[in-house]
Amino acid sequence: MRRNVREGDCLTRILVTGGAGFLGAHLCERLLDMGNHVTCLDNLHTGARQNIAGFLANPRFEFVEHSVIDAFDGYFDEIYNLACPASPQHYQRDPVYTFKTSVIGTLNMLELAKRRGAKLLQASTSEIYGDPLVHPQKENYWGNVNTMGVRSCYDEGKRGAETLVSDFHRFHGVNTRIVRIFNTYGPGMNPEDGRVVSNFIIQALTGNDITIYGDGSQTRSFCYRDDLVEGIIGLMNAPDHVTFPINIGNPVEITVRKLAETVLAMIPSKSRIDFRPLPEDDPMQRCPDVSRAREYLGWEPKVPLQEGLGNTIEYFRQIIASRSIPSVPKTA
């Protein structure tokens, strides 16, 4: 029987959907450290129990195995809606499920927020910009998205979710926030999710060739996990007029090839760089303009790439020592 924290309790009651994922679990940990009661809602489609194992004994933490696609109820003051497969390897595996999670799942959480008078933060993504024609990407840029491509289940699902969030705010008065998350990395990443940082580190640590799709000139910017979570919490606690999208990411840009070379410089390895054809609709440039985050949240990333990569390398070194790593999937 699941516990319910009901009206009259003094703790802030927070629901984190997708709370057993990479970012969700770290968000749960940070919110618990701040003294909140946290309910983690996750159907473990891409999340994992081991990510939240350290919190299960905490009386202020509750895990509910449930999909946001199905109706859910409870008493909450705040809802962080992070539920959705987030790497191409995962969201392309079942594109219809991904789209339903983004749209139906967000609709269910908005209905819950409306019913309980809760504040809702929607985790959107830099993918809504598609393969951008504007650089760096500002929040008022509408994007360049292929509506029928292999990535569109995620891109268009998240764009639709932003529409729902905006309409619930305008027409139903729900107190909402929208964060557009750019590439994030750090300890706790799933070694099998196909993200470029985890792929490069695992390939270098295991002595396999580092796979680059395209010529490596495409750019990304990488925000460390801790910085990203602080930005999300800052947005949830921002003044109520901050209902417009806010980019959270690192504005320091790096080419994919330079990232590979940086990883190889940090890990003694016999790995070489192996160039492969570029996947469909892979964006050539991805870098946030974080002016809004600086202005409205007083936020900017603090952890430099070398430091963050060092922490992440050590995390994967321990993972590899404890178990075998399967073949590395395509990079994101």
Q: What residues are labeled active site?
A: 154
**H or E stretch covering 88:** helix 88-91
E-only strand ranges, 82-199: 119-125, 176-181, 184-185
The C-alpha torsion from 112 through 118 and 121 to 122, rounded to 10°, is 20
**H or E stretch covering 61:** strand 61-64
**DSSP code of 106?**
H
**H or E stretch covering 225:** helix 225-236
Structure tokens at 125: 């993504």
DSSP letters spanning 32-54: HHTT-EEEEE---SS--HHHHGG
Peptide bond before 136: cis, by omega within 30 degrees of 0? yes
Structure tokens at 66: 């449930």
Q: Which residues of 201-227 are buried (b: 16+ CB within 10 A; e: fewer)?
A: bbbbbeebebbbbbebebbbbbbbbbb
SS3 92: coil
Tell me the longest C-alpha to C-alpha distance in the chain: 60
